[in-house]
Structure 1
Amino acid sequence: MGTIDSYPTSSGNRYRVTYRKPDHLQTTKRGFRTKKEAQIFLANVESRKADGTYIDPASARATVGQLGVGWLAGQTHLKPSSIAVVESSWRLHVEPVWGSKSVGEIRFSDVQTWVADLARGSSEVKAKSASSVLRAHGILASVLEAAVRDHRIPSNPARGVMLPRKVGREHRYLTHEQLHRLAEASGTYSTLIRLLGYTGLRWGEATGLRPQDINLERRRISVVQNAVLVKGEVIIGTPKTHKRRSVPFPAFLVPALTAALAGREREDFVFADLRGRPLVTPTAQPHSWYNRSMAAAGLPGMTIHDLRHTAASLAIAAGANVKAVQKMLGHASAAMTLDVYADLFDDDLDAVATRLDQAARSASVIKLADS
């Protein structure tokens, strides 16, 4: 147990508590006005030491900047592209505001105000998108959560704040005719455009393809790697979900893919630049061939990712079930596919009502209900 003693001050006697921390180092807490206050504090310390929830005040003086460096270094499970985005958010939005603050002085209201300021913006700073705000808040919350687990602070002040809702961009789909018009306008990239629009491959998955990944006889593509632009450099890694998958493609693409594979070695990239490196996402470049092709095809505003949505739309319209579309797109579950493309299954709801009506009439229950 600790000890309590009094000492004189200009404002009268005060009480001091001397106790040992869990690491057996002795420390003191001064300034109690009454002995009762000191006794309550000491009892609380001993109780927290006993149940393992003791917080060392010195530990709470660690700054977000100090702990953030270690937290960032520990994000080894993230892909290079994700790490780059996280590091950018830390550098631009989190570290400038919170880096010098100790974790023990951060309050819930402070975090709430910061989140609101990011979302609202100001005359000097542009309002951030919901995605940017959520990402920045997630980083701060994760750093503070690590502080909680290290027993630096008793609870996470970033948890429970009101966050902006992320509103998904409305999907845009191309018809068969529009897709082929875009492909024709794309010239030497026409095969790549058709492949994206009929398989649902992500840009990085398509540009990471090698001849050994394409089986022309079975009309299957093995998605085993991904080519992603990170800080101006194309990085080759695993697919987005770290899972390989097999994707079918229609027979009419065989001649074009055969031509694309001609003269390439097994490890070459099928869709490469003049240096043999995977193509860079064209929408990241002003006045790119893709933007020019869209304008020529009369389809302004269509992104490369809209071709993935188009593939899902065309597959569903052709009669593919949710499970097949899930596997083609590489979604984690059929439920995710339904959530993302719920608007494409409206016709199925109409069909359900029609079949229920037919079944009810066949069972003659309609007459009974009418009578």
Structure 2
Amino acid sequence: MATIRKRELPSGRIVWQADYRDGGGKRRDKQFPTKKAADDFLLTARGQVRSGTHVAESQSKTIDQAAKLWLTQAEKAGRERATVARYKSTYELYVKPRFGATKLSAITTPMIQTFIDDLTGTMSASSLAKVHGALVSIFKHAVSRGHAATNPARDIQMPSATRDKARPEMPTKEELRAILKATPARWIPFIRTAMLTGMRASELRGLQWRDVDLAAGIIHVRRRVDRYNEFGPPKSEAGTRDIPISDSMVVTLKTWKAECPKGEHGLVFPNGEGNIEGHANLLHRVFWPVQITAGVTIETDKKNEDGKPIVDAKYSLHALRHAAAALFIEQGFPPKKVQTLMGHASLQMTYDVYGYLFKSEDDDRVKIAEMEAALLG
């Protein structure tokens, strides 16, 4: 039987104590400053006890304890080491300082909403989504293990990820030609493949010759290599895809296959010993120097001994992926095909990133006018 009674504490403070029995029949109590708060608690607790989801506050784990269990389970489930490291970093940097010592049962949706609101504007929308995702996952794991009754992070209102979103930076056609012209012969196959397929750097680093059907002119994206040089599946289910390549690209890769350093993994773009090439090496030793040679640069705040501004490479490797998407769209590929070629998890993602590149309503108006003229003269 659940009851509410008024109590005067030794300090003289008046509280309202809610007494009830948990799912195991054990007597529990919790104190509140007002009778309404105690009533609201009992109403919720009774429902949770009936459904078998109630967790008494005295038995509740802290966010920090729950986060450790969540991260341990992520490792056991075989999540990539880089992914688990990102989870842990996000938790340690943002969630732990705010909620680490707080019990799961004490966390409410308004508390998390205030937390998200406080972070909004201090980081990118994607980073904010990762923080929110960490809280959702911690509570989801806790609920499934009986450590929490509900997931208060689930119904949080997030700021629009697309509002005022900057367009992706990518080389122009002229810059792409200049980059390719300045690329040493040894790296032309890699740069050309990146430019013309839109593959992620991790997918290019993990590409094996068995994934390249030179007879059919198709690259099968089936794996990637993470920052720790460990093989894994593509970034998402949609990342497993087939990308057609041109006859000239086939010739380039055939020639390169004969010269390519051999190694145990049969990599298409290995290092000099035939092993996995590091992402940092591709930037520092290849792509950034090539851009500087090609004059595809930006000025920095630093100056050399002559007082002239020091320049840096203008783009990251990921910019070549964006450039490939722009070329697909310019060529007239429909949005669904672009989504497939890029390995996006959804068509909405394709529109969010590249929507501005697709033909505008003005183009549609021209087509409507042409249709009308053909019909009515």
Letter in 1 for 2:337: A
The Cα shift of 1:282 comes to 4.0
Distance 1:16 1:173 in 2: 63
The structure with more radius of gyration: 1
Q: Secondary structure at the match of 1:247?
A: strand
CA separation of 1:115/1:23 partners in 2, compared to 1, >3 Å: closer, same or farther? same
Secondary structure in structure 1 of the residue aligned to 2:276: coil
Q: Would the aligned equivalents of 2:225 and 2:231 in 1 still touch at CA under 8 Å? A: yes
* CA-to-aligned-CA distance 1:129-166 (integer Å, 9 cap, x gap): 33323212321233234445556555444455554443
Secondary structure in structure 1 of the residue aligned to 2:270:
coil
> CA shift at 1:265, angstroms?
6.7
Hey, what does 1:93 align to over in structure 2?
94
Partner of residue 49, structure 1:
49
Cα offset, 1:104, TM superposition: 2.6
State the shift of 1:195 in Å: 0.8
Gaps of 5+ in 2: 298-313
Q: Which moved more, 1:210-219 or 1:189-198?
A: 210-219
Q: Is the 8 A contact 1:282 1:289 kept in 2?
A: no
Cα distance, 1:340 vs. partner? 2.9
1:209 is matched with 207
1:304 positional shift: 1.1
Q: Which residue of 2 aligns with 1:251?
A: 247
Equivalent residue for 2:195, pick from 190, 194, 197: 197
- Alignment coverage as a number of residue pairs: 352
Report the secondary structure of 1:222's partner residue. strand
Kindly indicate whether the alpha-carbon contact (under 8 Å) linking 2:18 and 2:31 is maintained by their aligned counterparts in 1.
Answer: no
Residues 235-250 of structure 1: pairs in structure 2 closer than 5 A:
235-242=230-237, 244-250=240-246
TM-score, normalization by structure 2: 0.77
In structure 2, the partner of 1:29 is 29
Secondary structure of the residue that 2:359 maps to in structure 1? helix
Matching residue of 1:141 = 136
Which digits, 9 at most, give the CA deviation of each residue in 1:319-350, with x for residues without a partner? 33334333322233445434432122126x44
Contact 2:205 2:270 in 1 (8 A): yes
Q: Equivalent residues in 2 for 1:258-337 (5 A)? A: 258-262=254-258, 264=262, 267-282=265-280, 287-300=284-297, 301-337=314-350
Compared CA separation, residues 247 and 22, structure 1 to 2 (3 A)? same
Counterpart for residue 125 of structure 2 = 130
Instruction: Classify 1:99/1:12 alpha carbon distance in 2 versus 1 (closer, same or farther; 3 Å).
Output: closer
The Cα of 1:190 is off from its aligned counterpart by: 1.8
| TM-score normalised by structure 1 residue count | 0.78
Q: Does the C-alpha gap of structure 1 residues 108 and 314 become closer, same or farther in structure 2, counting only changes over 3 Å?
A: closer
- What's the RMSD between the two structures over aligned residues? 4.0
5+ residue gaps in structure 1?
121-126, 367-371
Residue 301 of structure 2 is matched in structure 1 by none
Give a deviation string over 1:37-75, Cα, whole Å, max 9, x none: 999988986665345454423233x11111111112223
Cα distance in 1 between the residues matched to 2:119 and 2:66? 22
Paired position in structure 2 for 1:58 = 58
Query: 1:290 and 1:132, CA in 2 relative to 1: closer, same or farther beyond 3 A?
Result: same
Q: 1 CA distance for matches of 2:38 and 2:294?
A: 79
**In 2, Cα distance between the equivalents of 1:29 and 1:192?**
66
Q: C-alpha offsets along residues 206-261 of structure 1, whole Å, 9 cap, x if unaligned?
A: 121222222222211111111121xxx21111112245322111222233212221
